[in-house]
Amino acid sequence: MSERGTKVVVVGGTSGIGLAVAEKAVAAGLQVVVASRTEQRVKRALNTLGAGTEGYTVDVMKEESIRDFFAQVGKFHHLVVTAGETPMGGFVTTSVEAAKAVFDSKFWGQYMSAKIAAPSIAEGGSITFFSGSFSRRPASGAAALAATNAAVEGLTRALAVELSPLRVNCIAPGLVVTPMYDGMDKTSRDEMFAQVGASLPAKRVGQPEDIAETALYLMKSRFTTGTVVQIDGGALLA
């Protein structure tokens, strides 16, 4: 996909999967806009992505911040929203407030981004949300996240119908090596990745680039909408 003038907005595009999507889009010759909550991350991403890329700060928990952001961006073609906090904790021991925070960030952040951005998306454009494999195969301690992921997937199908012909899809990644795990000590982190990878049919965990390739495909494929694409190395089969 290298259509001249095609503009892609990646909310959460300054690290991990979001940054990989932005890099793939730049490599494909697209105009890229990245957004994050912190100015430092935006500047770092722009240095990585090179000249011609735009970057803004936005707080997806605040509707006014999202409105200001998309007002600056103007018309564009594809929206990818990877932002969202994903903490885990036991169902009984995790406070309701903490569980609501998961939903507020990952569901409402994507919901509001799509709602506010949709009128600015050009004909033939698309929205790509992110859920996760816990919507289909939850782990202990992931009740709030599993429910949130399922809600994002339901939103995907609903908006594919309501916003038609604007295409709306969702990516559900499995375990991916991202900065989200940087808080773990290196030995424990590497052991976790190795253990999970060995249990998968793919025999490895995911890399951000694996997921980014799917995001680019969903932008390009004009006959794909209302779809949740599971990218998990075969976790559902393990």
In tens, the pLDDT along 181-218 reads 877 888 988 999 999 999 999 999 999 999 999 999 99
Q: Which domain holds residue 66?
A: 7-178+207-231
Instruction: Select which of 15, 36, 126, 131 is catalytic.
Output: 131
CATH of the domain at 92: 3.40.50.720
For residue 184, the model assigns a pLDDT of 85
Write down the pTM of the prediction.
Answer: 0.94
Return the pLDDT at 185.
84
Nearest CA to 1 among 223, 221, 220, 222? 220
Give residue 105's pLDDT. Answer: 86
Which two structure tokens, joined as six digits, stand for 13? 């595009």
- Determine, yes or no, domain membership for 196: no
Q: What is the mean pLDDT of residues 5-30?
A: 96
Lowest mean pLDDT of 132-136, 160-164, 226-230, name the range.
132-136
What residues are paired with 32 via a beta bridge? 8
- Does a structural domain hold residue 190? no
Report CA 208 to chain centroid distance, whole Å: 11
pLDDT in tens, 139-189: 888 888 999 999 999 999 999 999 999 999 999 999 999 887 877 888 988
Give pLDDT, residue 219. 97
pLDDT in tens, 93-120: 889 998 898 898 899 999 999 999 999 9
Residue 65: HSE in the Cβ half-sphere, 13 Å Cα cutoff: 13
pLDDT at residue 134, as a whole number: 83
Is position 198 within any domain? no
Cβ neighbours for 14, distance < 8 A, ≥ 6 positions apart: 34, 35, 36, 38, 41, 42, 44, 45, 55
| Model pLDDT, residue 41 | 95
- Provide the mean pLDDT of the chain: 93
Q: Where are the beta strands (DSSP E) in the chain?
A: 7-11, 31-36, 54-57, 76-81, 121-130, 167-173, 228-231
Tell me how many domains the chain contains: 1
Strand order across the 54-57 sheet: 54-57, 31-36, 7-11, 76-81, 121-130, 167-173, 228-231
> Quick one: pLDDT band at residue 138, thresholds 50, 70, 90?
confident
Does any domain span residue 144?
Answer: yes
DSSP, collapsed to helix, strand or coil, labels residue 165 as coil
Mark whether 113 is an active-site residue.
Answer: no
